[in-house]
Structure 1
């Protein structure tokens, strides 16, 4: 509980983030991604931290795997945390990333290494994903820290792309070998759902999902 003493801003990025790892270890996924997140909330409220931003994922939109489900519940914990103490000035918000180019375990470093073998494993030729750069990820967090009122989920305005297009760009002469979808994987991710749409507003290069419950009104945006 004392770890946040004297802190003004907190960025919560700790997670079991790989889909296969979470599918194989759902108990550990719950401990880290949910119980750990509640510990962050409790400590931030206790020490009156000014702003707390949690990192989430597009896999939280209509989740089909343990990782995505845990991040959806993390989002709900952080949105609701703004209502726990009416006298608290602590504000909790969320940023929802797509895949981050160059991050550990992401597809581009894997393809760059794998192309030396002369083939790239492709789960499904029609699979699509959203991605952002590391710089965009940092800018999203900074924007949310500076501009959030509490309860928002901030998303990038980003097009989706086919995994095969990335494979072709990285290794145009390599064989693209179909290996099948892994447990818990989707063919197509979403940034937000049809249920979210009435509460989504756009601010520049970001979409913001406004909270269903709380002190804010859409007209405030």
Structure 2
């Protein structure tokens, strides 16, 4: 009778381990059937998770680029990010949602995507005991077209007339002619006025 509690504890322990192993073995890595589309400069999330949901805090998660076998995009193992051998162009631009690892979410966030980031990415969990340990995600990156603004340029033309174009002698001549014309006009007006006076008999001339 004294050994019953110990036996019961062992039974419960074995049952718990068996259920855990069955759950782990039945889990598989899944991604997205649709490609991820982004514009250059955007932040994107490459989806990857375990189904059914299993905690992945103690697992190893490898994100690699399939277009270059040596392109290590992001590595998570032993409970932390380990990006010593990360491809230089991805440094400082990749992260995982650590608070979501307990829910089996091993998606990768890639910030400030560039045209060279486009391609296929593989999410691989080598420590998973299930049959499906990896999945691929396709990323398409489009270029942002810059608006072209045209400004119709207005040119102002100034015409400068040099002083020597009209010599001072010409100026004096013009002024003299203007005065002469003015005197002639005044004389003509005076003559007309005197003529009208004479015709009206307003002037008496003594001989």
TM-score range, shorter chain: under 0.3
TM-score of the two chains, using structure 2 as the length reference: 0.22
Higher helix share: 1
TM-score of the two chains, using structure 1 as the length reference: 0.21
